[in-house]
Amino acid sequence: MTIDKISLGQFEIFGLRDGFFYLDGGAMFGVVPKTLWEKKFPADERNRIKLALNSILIKRGTALILVETGIGSDLDPKFFDYYSVEKIPGLVPSLQKLGYQVDDIDFVINTHLHFDHCGGNTCKNEKGEDVPTFPKAKYIIQKGEWEYALHPTERDEPSYLTSNFLPVERYGLLQLVDGNREISEGVEVIIVPGHTSRHQCLKVSSEGKTLFFLGDLVPTSAHIGLSYIMSYDLFPQETLQNKKKFYEQAIDEDWILAFNHDPEHFFGKVKKVKNKYTFEPLL
């Protein structure tokens, strides 16, 4: 059974799911040959693999922090069809199932601004305008990522949809940060370049325990192996160095890892067995 809730010292952390979507398996595993990755992720007839859109909700007392907002729901039907998006259960419904409403969220954190990480930042109002989904939240985004998202290159332009993030600024909810920053006690964003130059991960620490939200540094548990790096990454060598750096720390300090795109595991750990890093599910 998938573990979707953990206690971490003073925090409770819940796995939420906006749904699933499909991406090309080759692009998801970079230089790793299909004969290796398809054992972990079988491809469909279009060579695509099924990925999840995972968020986490961090609760301490009455304070609520939402990390990632999935793909959203106000997308062009053609786009929805292209990625075969399945909104099961949907981010807001999964939040409501826990007894919370969109007004309850204090902070929204995006690891970066690709459409599958910040799609639910905004939604359409009755007039059909894009407005922030979480009207009382501060949205924490890296300054460099924000600037890049407004001026992407030809190669990654399709990954950025301004309707996901410009309304956040328009409504005064944007809080740009530059580098590592403590957002609230025990919750810190950490710059981890590789996927994009200002991609950030999230570290939650309490009473000697740590959870690390990986974002697109390691999108699924099948990407734990060092060479399993997405073709989408702008700086794959930096991804590699950061995987090694954070795995060593994670092993030394017994961190729980949280996965952004894993359809089976919200959480898990990394272990080193015979000099190779492997995934270990939480029991």
Binding site for Zn ion (CB under 5 A): 114, 216
Q: Which residue minimizes CB distance to Zn ion?
A: 114
The residue among 131 and 234 lying less far from Zn ion, judged by its C-beta, is 234
**Measured from the CB of residue 145, what is the shortest distance to Zn ion in angstroms?**
10
The residue among 114 and 138 lying less far from Zn ion, judged by its C-beta, is 114
The residue among 105 and 149 lying less far from Zn ion, judged by its C-beta, is 149
The residue among 159 and 175 lying less far from Zn ion, judged by its C-beta, is 159
**Measured from the CB of residue 108, what is the shortest distance to Zn ion in angstroms?**
17
Q: HSE (CB half, 13 Å, CA atoms) of 245?
A: 12
**Measured from the CB of residue 164, what is the shortest distance to Zn ion in angstroms?**
12
**Measured from the CB of residue 62, what is the shortest distance to Zn ion in angstroms?**
31
The residue among 119 and 268 lying less far from Zn ion, judged by its C-beta, is 119
**Measured from the CB of residue 216, what is the shortest distance to Zn ion in angstroms?**
4
